[in-house]
Each structure stands twice: as structure tokens, then as C-alpha cells.
Amino acid sequence: MPAASGSLTQPDNLANAISSEAPALEVVDLWKKYGQNQALSGTSFSVKQGERLALLGPNGAGKTTLIRSMCGRVKADRGQVLLLGRSIREPDVLQRMGVIPQDLAIYSDLTAKQNLECFGQLYGLRSRRLRERVSWALKWIGLEDRANDLTSGFSGGMKRRVNIACGVLHRPQILLLDEPTVGVDPQSRQRIFDMLDELNQEGTSIVLTTHHLDEAETRSDRIVIIDHGKVVADGTLEHLIESTIGARRQVAIEATGLLMAVPSGLERDASRNRFVCFVDNVAEELPQILDRFQRAGGVVTDLEVHQPNLHHVFLHLTGTELRE
């Protein structure tokens, strides 16, 4: 192991070379092929300093390869990944990144404290600095009182918190989280996102991959959707909605007494008595729709107006076909 450097883990020459203007992370035209499978096909996007970015995509879209490329574990066939303006292949650049794998990448036969000490040392922390950071991490994840317990006896949520803490001990400037809340209860999810918000408020950029679209909606500043190894959407939630579905609202009506004929402009949903349509202006178009139902002899029993959300955008962009 190289000797521990200064107060933190960043060599002076690196600190000098990093521009405050540079994006925290920049993925430039990444290509990667495994055999016949083209996992990445020119993926490009960037993450600003202090930004929270959600990275979404269906199974097999290339997310895992992308994440592994971003943290240097996969060497792309073409393209590059820049961290604060410098290639991740340069020495010590990756020290500014924290990686939280989806799996519980901790030692179950070590205590929480021993796990933190282990990963802290691997990131170059030593002696007093290490003790301080471990102590901070235990407090941050709310496990001070369980510090000396083996993690094998922890609940899923507690293990997840230790898993996250192991990746942030060295105070990374950007944090990659691969589905950090898989298999945890709502309380633990809330706690984990509170922890991440705390880090973000201190200036850490966050890249989060998740299948919980509500997490992406509420916990990110920007969303990138990838499919077939390419970025298919990149922007804020509002921007994505505007650029895909637009301002239209989905109207869902349940009705009885209707003949087989479906009122014009509506589609019968999977359920026989449910009809859906999209409207650009709810105030103007909804009364006309209800009038058509009445004339067709139907009795409206329920009515819902949905604002488009990330779920609609995601399915609109990636389709509904199963990928596995």
C-alpha cells in the first residue's frame, strides 16, 4: 500500500490540477462490447459538482457496465471517464470517488467498526484521521451503540448503512450508489436518503441508480435514462416529461351501462369498464368526454386525472417489453 497522504487522501498535485469549473464526472462517448453484446454504444453525460443525478434504465440496458466503467473496474473499448476534469486512469484520481455496490460488500464476520477501519485504511486513512472518520461514520449511520457488534447480526437496513458508510469514509467528492435501498423497509430507505442528503449538502455529488422511480423523482436534480447502451433522455423531471409526453394528462374513467361501442377518442383499458385517453387541456376537454359517455348510455362511476410522471416517461422511452 502506498503511504497515507496528508490530512485526507488527495495528493497535492492532484488538488492543484483539479478545476473548480470541471464537472464532477464526465462520461465521454463510452463504447464497450462483450462478445456479440454491445453493452455501451457511445454513452455520454456529465454530472455537475454538487449535483444529484439519477441513472435509470431497464434491465440489460448497460447500467452495470456503465457504473463499472465509471469507477474504473471496466476498461471501455473507446471513450473516457473524467473525474473533476481528469481521466480516472491517472494515478490517485479515483481516490476522489466513493463506490457503493448494490451487494452488501462488507465483511459479515467483522464488527461495524472493524469494517469501517478496514475500508478506511484501504483508502489511505491512518491513525487519528482514521479514528475520527470511523467515529463520524458510526454516528452518521446511527450505529454508535452497535459499533462492536458483528455485522452478521445486523438487520438488512443496518447492513445497508454500514455498506454506504464504508464508501464515504475518505470524503469522496462524487459518490456512485448502485441501488442502495434494495430490500430495505421504508424507514431504512428514508434514513439512507437523509444520510445522502446530508452528504450532498456538504458538496458531494451523487450518482444514484435505482429501479424505484419515486426515489429518482424526489431524490435527484437530474435524470439520465439509458437503454441499449445509449442515453435516451437526460434532464430534469419536468424537462423529460415535456420532451416526451408533454403537458398532456391521462384521464381514466370507469363506467357502467355502456354498449359495446366505445366513445370516440377513448381506449378501453384492460379492465372492461375502464377507458383511458390523453387530454391537452383538462378544463376544456373533460366535460366533452363526459358528455360523450352520457350520450352512449354509460354511467360514470369513477374518474381519475393523472399528471404524467417519471413512470410514464420511462415506459414511453424504453417500452413495456420485458428485457429478460
Q: Shortest approach of another protein to residue 120 CB, angstroms?
A: 10
Q: 23 or 172, CB closer to another protein?
A: 172
Half-sphere exposure of 199 (CA within 13 A, CB side): 31
Q: Please report which helix (H) or strand (E) contains residue 274, including its range.
A: strand 274-279
- Closest separation between CB of residue 94 and another protein, Å? 7
Name the one residue in this structure whose C-alpha cell is 451523487: 206
- In whole angstroms, give the CA distance from residue 34 to residue 321: 23
Query: Of 102 and 250, which CB lies nearer to another protein in the complex structure?
Result: 102
Residue 151 C-beta: closest distance to another protein, Å: 12
Q: How far is the C-alpha of 72 from the C-alpha of 200, rounded, in Å? A: 23
Binding site for another protein (CB under 8 A): 1-2, 9, 68, 71-75, 94-95, 97, 99, 101-107, 119, 122-124, 166-167
Question: Least distance to another protein from the beta carbon of 199, Å?
Answer: 17
Q: 162-192: b or e for each residue (b if 16 or more CB lie within 10 Å)?
A: bbbbbbbbbbbbbbbbbbbbeebeeebbebb
Secondary structure element (H or E) that encloses residue 267, with its range: strand 267-268
Which residue type is seen at 232? V
Nearer to another protein, 68 or 222 (CB): 68
CB of 264 to another protein, least distance (A): 54
170 or 222: CB nearest another protein? 170
Answer whether 219's CB lies under 8 Å from 208's CB. Answer: yes
- Closer residue to another protein in complex, CB, 86/312: 86
